[in-house]
């Protein structure tokens, strides 16, 4: 979904309501597990990012990135670690977010 920035009138990529609901569901589970504590959402010209933090003053632990230009190639969705390594990439958001299921199993 593209929206217009009121100040610059440039189109930017954002998450739609369904996508954001899916991401926030995983975020809520990780907060309940004590792993994550804060997040930020950025709508940029070419991508949208949902960054996850352990503490508000730190760098993001993970970034959930939506890049519509890559949709026909590797898929519009990817999970990027703090070191910049792409952990998972794909066409379906719910499948890409399964990378966090393994992290929850390690906690138990």
Which of 19, 27, 25 is CA-nearest to residue 47? 19
The vertex-94 CA angle with 107 and 108, nearest 5°, equals 10
Stated pTM of the model = 0.83
Q: What is the pLDDT of residue 10?
A: 75
pLDDT along the chain (108 residues), means of 10: 58 93 95 92 95 86 94 92 94 94 56
């Amino acid at each position: 979904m593209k929206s217009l920035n009121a100040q610059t009138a440039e189109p930017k990529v954002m998450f739609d309501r369904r996508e954001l609901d899916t991401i926030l569901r995983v975020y809520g589970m990780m907060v309940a597990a004590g792993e994550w504590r804060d997040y930020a959402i950025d709508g940029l010209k070419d991508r949208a990012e949902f960054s996850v933090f352990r503490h508000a003053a730190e760098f993001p632990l993970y970034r959930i990135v939506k890049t519509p230009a890559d949709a026909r190639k590797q898929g519009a969705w990817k999970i990027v670690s703090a070191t910049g390594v792409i952990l998972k990439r794909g066409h379906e958001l719910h499948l890409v977010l399964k990378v966090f299921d393994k992290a929850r199993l390690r906690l138990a």
